[in-house]
Amino acid sequence: MLLQHEAGVLRVFPDWPQAMDAGFTRLRAKGAYHISSEQKNGKVTYIDVFSEKGGSLIIQSPWGTRGVHLVSAQRAAPAWHVDASGQFELLTVPGGRYHLSLQ
């Protein structure tokens, strides 16, 4: 499985073998989001989010509780707060594009 958005939480590669490289482009997630991502050598290299409608998106970080680097047209932040459960909230605007990676 490449993408899962259940119980209000988005997960990339939730059930994909770490030994297998994979990637996907613009898979649709609940809430009018298009998600792209890649896994190489057992690690997720990035998550790209395009938000059609805007809103709050909860993401389970594939990088654990380490800080997440966010780049968007609206802002760039050196580290995005990830809570103790490894989740973070991305507040999006209609038409917003966001690139997430390990800092």
Output the CA–CA distances (angstroms, integers) from residue 86 to 22, 52, 74, in the order listed: 22, 25, 24
Both tokens assigned to 33: 């989001």
Please tell me the pTM assigned to this model.
Answer: 0.90
Q: What confidence category does residue 67 fall into, taking pLDDT thresholds of 50, 70 and 90?
A: confident
Percent of the chain's residues with pLDDT above 90:
73
User: Which pLDDT score is estimated for 78?
Assistant: 45
**5-34 pLDDT tens trace:** 999 999 999 999 999 999 999 999 999 999
- Lookup result for tokens 């990088």: 63
Collapsing DSSP states into helix, strand and coil, what is residue 47? strand
The domain total for the chain is 1
Q: Which domain holds residue 8?
A: 3-102
Whichever domain contains 63, its CATH number is 2.60.40.1180
- When pLDDT is averaged across residues 38-58 and rounded to a whole number, the result is 95
User: Which pLDDT score is estimated for 66?
Assistant: 85
Q: What is the DSSP letter of 20?
A: S
